[in-house]
Structure 1
Amino acid sequence: MDRCVVLVDAGYLLGAAASLLAGEPSRPRIAVDHAALIQALRERAEADTGCDLLRIYWFDGAPDRVPQPEHRRLRVMPRVTVRLGALTRSDGRWAQKGVDAAMHAELTELARNRACADIVLVTGDGDLLPGLMSAKEHGVAVHLWAVQAADGDYNQSEDLVAEADERRVLDRAWITRAVRLSDAPPGDAPRVATRPEIAAILAAPHREGPGGRPGPAARPLPVTAVESVGEGPAPEGGSAAGTRNGAARSAEDPDAPPAPRDGAAPAPRGVPTPKDLASLGRPAPSGHSGSVSAPTATLRWSSDRGWVDRGAPEEPPEIASLPMLSQLTTAEQRWADREEDITAVSGDPFEVGQVFARRWAERLGTTAHLDRLSAEYPRIPHRIDGELLRYAARFGLLAHKDDQIDEQDRYAIRAGFWRELDARTDTERAS
């Protein structure tokens, strides 16, 4: 049958492209226009084989085989089928599992069923050699494509190269039609909040704290962004009250960090959570006198049980009663939202927050709620904030980070949420 099929090992294609453009095989170093890349693959395959394209199979790894934003976009493109293997982390490096086996199975099955006349392989893995040989024995012409190596040498198995019927090198000019260097920092380096909206949330002055004094501003200090479900020591503040509380807790919990000695620099405060922000300016619970306990980080996420909040402070009734997005969404809107998420939302944390806020604001039907919530900045009601984090989880913002939302991602999600609401209430925040 005069059709061609393209089998793409995404780990090889994008890793080799990153090596060529950035000098290291780190996919975060590059930004990929997947629509342009798929179109370029189709045009080149049809030109090289002289056959119409049947399908492009995109093989890639994903944590727990959960589709990431790029996979969600790819699998709704015409003539594209996504096959996912597992992605595991070992010794600080990501490794694909099951991708080679899936490519081998697809290659041999297509050839055995005579589904196509030509197969294009974009890979460098020698483990596919038996499948390549089997395809040839079934009368299929096998084309092997390589990405230009950064050092001018081979980046493919020599046995695979020797056995292929036709070979082609995708050079730098071809690669850069759809791939460019990313602006993101290399590797796993901590990302810096470059958006002024994030800086505004971190530096936002809060309402008066206990005793009529202004409450402290939230500061970006190192702490686990979202704690796993379970008990553990909570971060302490740098106040005298926090030091006393820390000393008392150390006696109860030997694993808690020791309290600073007199004259020593106070221990760094934890990144404030919605509970911390909401507790500022609230009266102390009855029965407590003297020092006020430092706020504790209790925002937790479990991929199995969802968002959990323990011991959250009481919110004003008008804020606690704000409807959630799910309560404002019809079945038809839910279907349309899912379509938009798959085809139009990139998964950028800031954009995720904007999309969520836009839907919520449009379905409220009144601006009174928006004005009321705007006055609570930068605090987001607990129920809505939890729903926002669950929505963000759909875009893989948890799966590749041990089921925890990265600290900078959290701030970007909430900054996007506030930017959208501010645009609707004509509010300007000082950055």
Structure 2
Amino acid sequence: MDRCVVLVDAGYLLGAAASLLAGEPMRSRISVDHAALIRGLRERAEADTQCDLLRIYWFDGAPDRVPQPEHRRLRVMPRVTVRLGALTRSDGRWAQKGVDAAMHAELTELARNRACSDIVLVTGDGDLLPGLMSAKEHGVAVHLWAVQAADGDYNQSEDLVAEADERRVLDRSWITEAVRATEPPGVCAPQSASRPEIAAILSAPLPETAKNGSARATPAPPTPQGGPAAPAATPPDGQGSEAAGEPAATPSTEDEQDESAGTGRNATGVPTPKDLAGLGRPQPTGATQSTPPGATLRWSSERGWVERGTPGESPEIAALPTLAQLTTAEQRWADREEDITAVSGDPFEVGQVFARRWQERLSAPANVQTLAGEYPRIPHRIDGELLRYAARFGLLAHKDDQIDEHDRYAIRAGFWREIDAPVTGQPAPAEDTAVSD
């Protein structure tokens, strides 16, 4: 049958594109217009094979084989089928498992059933050589496509190249029609902010401990000559209390507790959203600013923003409606459709989308002002709902079960940036952040 099929090894295609455009094979260093990429693959395949396209198979890895945002977008596109292998972490590096086996099985099955006359392989892995040879024995013409190699490197198995019927190189000009390099991801800071306290918080650097969830060791204070040295306050096994949502250190005496409570600062000197909640509000007589200049913002972790000794929310705040309460069945369906087809899964964007829907469905606009008055704390019920929504996109946690504080920071930054626009009467600026794989 005169039809063509395209089998794409996404790890090879996007990794080689990242090497070519960004200088390193990290997919986080590129942003991909998947609709343009699929369109380009289809047009090139039909031109090269002189056959109509039957289907494009997209093979990729995902943690626990759970579709990521890009897979959700791809699998609803016409003539696209997504096949997922496992994505595992070993020795600090991510590796795909089962992708080559799935490509081999699909390749041989298509050829055996004579489902097509031509197969286009976008891969460089020599493990597919037996499948390629089997397809040729069943009378299928095999076209092997390569991505232009960076710095003259060879990025395909020579055995594959030798065995293929036709070979084509996807050069830089073709790749850049759908893929572009991005800057390394950094702090999610808005281009502008209408209130200085929002600018201060959203531009605050991420905690240096966000990657491992532990606090730095505190140097021991100087001791009198000849006296025993005080041990450094280092959390055991590198697991700080920050990742568990508890204060990073506990004062050892009641006097120290009173002093810490009086200044509104936690024992490590790293302000939490609770510490900073009074920014921009009238201060009581005699109160002093508790947040040191240039301090690092520590977002709450999986237990929420309520810490030991924190008073409960006011009835007015606790009564704010959740997004689920404001959403009809028809809107819920439309939201899912938008999530699958239009939301990229970037953490900042996810926070903005959630906040936009919440605001648009409020029957009492004054609730936005009430919420803004709680800045930078998000009411507990709404915050939990926000994080559960973000979890649909594969955000918040790594495979090693460590909380991804960068994602949490970006999600809440996007939420507050969207909330701030109606409060000040200004449109929220688009945030130029990198899309993580």
TM-score by length of 1: 0.77
- Pair 153,204 (structure 1): closer, same or farther in 2 beyond 3 Å: closer
Q: 3-state SS of the aligned residue for 1:96? A: strand
Q: Which residue of 1 aligns with 2:313?
A: 315
| 1:31-59 CA distance string (max 9 Å, x none) | 21111111111011001111000110011
Say whether the 8 Å CA contact 1:63–1:400 is kept in structure 2.
no
Displacement of 1:196 after TM fit? 4.8
Using a 3 Å threshold, how does the CA distance of structure 1 residues 197 and 341 change in structure 2: closer, same or farther? farther
What letter is aligned with 1:180? R
1:419 Cα deviation from its structure 2 partner: 2.3
Q: Distance in 2 between matches of 1:39 and 1:157?
A: 26
Are the counterparts in 2 of residues 218 and 272 from structure 1 also a CA contact under 8 Å? no
Cα displacement string for residues 66-97 of structure 1 (whole angstroms, at most 9, x for unaligned residues): 22221111111111111111111222221111
Alignment check: 8 A CA contact 1:21 1:181 kept: yes
Map of 1:77 onto structure 2: 77
Which sits farther off after the overlay, 42-51 or 62-71?
Answer: 62-71
| Structure 1 residue runs without a partner (length 5+) | 206-216, 237-241, 250-265, 282-296
Q: 3-state SS of the aligned residue for 2:151? A: coil
Deviation at 1:220, TM superposition (A): 5.0
Per the alignment, in what secondary structure is the counterpart of residue 55 of structure 1? Answer: strand
Amino acid at match of 2:169: V
Matching residue of 1:3: 3
Q: Among residues 181, 203, 211, which one is paired with 2:200 in the alignment?
A: 203
Question: Is residue 226–residue 407 contact of structure 1 (8 Å, CA) maintained in 2?
Answer: no
- The number of aligned residues is 371
Unaligned runs of 5+ residues in structure 2 are 215-235, 255-265, 282-297, 428-437
Per-residue CA distance 1:198-220 (angstroms, 9 max, x = gap):
99447359xxxxxxxxxxx9885
Residue 18 of structure 1, CA deviation? 1.4
Q: How far apart, CA to CA, are the structure 2 residues paired with 1:100 and 1:141? A: 20
Write out per-residue CA displacement over residues 259-279 of structure 1, whole angstroms, 9 at most, x where no aligned residue: xxxxxxx97444625x66569
Aligned positions of 1:59-138 closer than 5 A: 59-138=59-138
Change (3 A) 1:166 1:369: same
Distance 2:158 2:402 in 1: 41
| 1:7 to 1:147, Cα distance in 2 relative to 1, 3 A | same
Cα offset, 1:313, TM superposition: 3.5
Deviations 1:230-277 (A, max 9, x none): x975359xxxxx99943359xxxxxxxxxxxxxxxx97444625x665
Partner of 1:169: 169
Partner residue in 2 for 1:375: 373
Structure 1 residues 28-427: aligned runs within 5 Å: 28-182=28-182, 184-185=183-184, 191-196=186-191, 200-201=197-198, 203=200, 221-224=207-210, 234=241, 245-247=250-252, 268-270=268-270, 272-273=272-273, 299-301=300-302, 313-400=311-398, 402-404=400-402, 406-426=404-424
Q: Distance in 2 between matches of 1:276 and 1:219?
A: 16
RMSD value over aligned CA atoms? 3.5
Return the letter of the residue paired with 1:80: V
> How far is the alpha carbon of 1:125 from its aligned partner?
0.4
- Structure 1 counterpart SS, 2:73: helix
Q: What TM-score results when the alignment is normalised by the length of structure 2?
A: 0.76
Q: 1:165 to 1:360 in 2, by over 3 A?
A: same
In 2, distance between residues paired with 1:60 and 1:335? Answer: 28
Corresponding residue for residue 290 of structure 1? none
